[in-house]
């Protein structure tokens, strides 16, 4: 049987940023981004924030110096796909066009080659919630 790393279709890269998880009617949960890809993120959370597999929310990441030398906030809707002791696997399910563009730029910068991003976008096939303009 293939390991999870062998089954992955998208490059993941280590990423260190503070973040927060927002869910309707729930308190904001602080987190740290562990790694990032075009299709999701792995985050570390403090305590048990009451999240369950299949639940959706919004992940807000405060990113310093990666793109503009200043701070930018990236907001992406996600679904919980994995829960461990203190880690949460997030699958991205939507973003507005500006936030999706920020995510693409972050991934491209960390992949190092524009053609690698193009290949990952083709594998993604679509971006839920993003309309073509």
Model confidence pLDDT, tens digit, residues 16-69: 889 999 998 888 899 999 998 888 999 999 876 788 899 999 999 887 655 556
Residues 81-124: pLDDT tens digits?
A: 999 888 999 999 989 989 988 888 888 887 777 777 767 776 66
> Does the reported pTM lie above 0.85?
no
The domains found in the chain, sorted by start residue, are 4-124 (2.40.10.220)
CB distance 36 to 106 below 8 Å: yes
Q: Which carries the bigger pLDDT value, residue 15 or residue 53?
A: 53
In this prediction, residue 111 carries a pLDDT of: 78
pLDDT at 8 over 60: no
Q: Which carries the bigger pLDDT value, residue 7 or residue 101?
A: 101
CB distance 52 to 80 below 8 Å: yes
In this prediction, residue 14 carries a pLDDT of: 82
pLDDT at 7 over 50: no
In this prediction, residue 3 carries a pLDDT of: 44
CB distance 107 to 72 below 8 Å: no
Q: What are phi and psi of 5, to 5 degrees?
A: -65, -35
Q: What are phi and psi of 100, to 5 degrees?
A: -65, -40
pLDDT band of 12, cuts 50, 70, 90: confident
């Amino acid at each position: 049987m293939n390991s999870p790393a062998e089954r992955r279709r998208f490059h993941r890269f280590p990423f260190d940023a503070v973040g927060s998880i927002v869910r309707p009617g729930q308190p904001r949960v602080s987190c740290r981004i562990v790694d990032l890809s075009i299709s999701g993120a792995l985050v570390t959370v403090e305590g048990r924030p009451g999240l369950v597999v299949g639940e959706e929310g919004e992940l807000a990441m405060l990113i310093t110096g990666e793109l503009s030398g200043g701070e930018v906030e990236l907001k992406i809707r996600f679904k919980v796909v994995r829960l461990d002791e203190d880690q949460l696997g997030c699958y991205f399910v939507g973003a507005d066009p500006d936030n999706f563009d920020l995510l693409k730029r972050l991934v491209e910068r960390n992949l190092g080659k524009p053609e690698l991003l193009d290949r990952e976008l083709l594998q993604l096939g679509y971006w839920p919630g993003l309309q073509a303009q």
